[in-house]
Each structure stands twice: as C-alpha cells, then as structure tokens.
C-alpha cells in the first residue's frame, strides 16, 4: 500500500484494473490513495469477471439508476432555462 498505491495514485490521471472477481471491500483498502486520485479528477476503468458480493451488484445498479435520474433532471433543467425570457 505505502510503496505502490499511495505514491502512484496521488499523481495518476487514470487507473485501469482487470480482475476475475471484484469486491468493493478490496478497493476500499486503498481508500486514502483513491480519495486523492478522485480529487485530482482521476478516471478509473474496471474490467470485472464477476462480483464477489451481491451488495456490490446492488450498489452498481443503484448508481446506474441515479445517473439516469440525474441526466433526466439535468435535461429538464436545461430545457427550462432555454425557454426563460427574463
């Protein structure tokens, strides 16, 4: 952790990872390094063979639903602004 993740993620702009089984608990081990990475607008790409925990699957599904909802609200907001006269 101290020799690899902290130094590299604190300066990285992208992080690509391919794993057979994924669990959020394993990536949370690098939470301190990932928080710096995210603040620096880092982009993570994951290739996953399978989720190891059903809670992770539900979290992904919830995130997708929230992204769709956010896009819909944003589109509605922009259309309303476009129609504003004052």
Is the pLDDT at 86 greater than 70, yes or no?
no
Do residue 39 and residue 57 come from a single domain?
A: no
How far apart CA 66 and CA 69 sit, in angstroms, is 5
Q: Stretch 56-77: mean pLDDT, rounded?
A: 87
Same domain as 63, residue 47? no
Q: What is the pLDDT of residue 61?
A: 86
Q: How many domains are contained in the chain?
A: 2
Question: How far is it, in rounded angstroms, from Cα 35 to Cα 69?
Answer: 25
Same domain? 1 vs 41? yes
Range of the domain at 80: 53-86
pLDDT tens readout for residues 10-42: 899 999 989 887 777 777 777 888 888 888 999
User: What per-residue confidence (pLDDT) applies to 14?
Assistant: 95
Q: Do 14 and 30 belong to one domain?
A: yes
Q: In angstroms, how far is CA 45 from the centroid of its own chain?
A: 9
d(CA 73, CA 35): 27
């Amino acid at each position: 952790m101290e020799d690899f993740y902290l130094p590299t993620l604190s300066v990285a702009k992208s992080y690509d990872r391919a794993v057979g089984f994924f669990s959020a608990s394993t990536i949370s081990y690098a939470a301190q390094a990932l928080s710096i990475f995210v603040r620096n607008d880092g982009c993570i790409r994951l290739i996953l063979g399978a989720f190891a925990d059903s809670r992770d699957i539900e979290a992904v599904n919830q995130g997708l639903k929230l992204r769709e909802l956010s896009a819909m609200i944003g589109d509605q907001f922009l259309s309303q602004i476009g129609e504003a006269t004052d």
